[in-house]
Amino acid sequence: MNTDLGRKRMSQGSPDRSFWDSKEVLVTGATGFAGRNLCSLLSNVGSKVRCLVRSKNDFFSNEPGTSIVLGDMQDYQSVLDALKGVDVAFQEDLPKRPAIFSQLPEEARE
């Protein structure tokens, strides 16, 4: 993956690095196009990125501050475990909300 491209885009002005620096961020769907690029972007701005994947074989990243968390969006407990200590979460994996979101508290669904 070309991380120079991500750095170039960052220099053109989007996310505030001071906001994202050292934030714990969960990204679901990290094996897809949008999720993988989001992980790279967040890593480049200093976030500690957790990539929720169903299989370690589906994802590889050598980005600093990036880790893999095994889980499935249809498994309530694996999502709760992945969310522990997270400041921000991005759902990049499904075109519709999985059943798990109906079990989360109202404030977590906003």
Rounded CA gap, 104 and 83, in Å?
12
pTM above 0.85, yes or no: no
Rounded CA gap, 54 and 7, in Å?
28
Rounded CA gap, 85 and 71, in Å?
16
Kindly report, residue by residue over 47-75, the tens digit of the pLDDT: 999 999 888 887 777 788 899 999 888 88
Residue 9 lies in a domain: no
Tokens of 96: 């519709």
How high is the pLDDT of residue 99? 57
Residue 10 lies in a domain: no
Residue 59 belongs to domain with CATH number: 3.40.50.720
Question: Which residues in the chain come in under a pLDDT of 50?
Answer: 1-10
Domains contained in the chain, number: 1
How high is the pLDDT of residue 82? 93
Rounded CA gap, 31 and 56, in Å?
10
Residue 62 lies in a domain: yes
Residue 5 lies in a domain: no
How high is the pLDDT of residue 3? 46
The parent domain of residue 78 ranges over 24-108
How high is the pLDDT of residue 24? 94
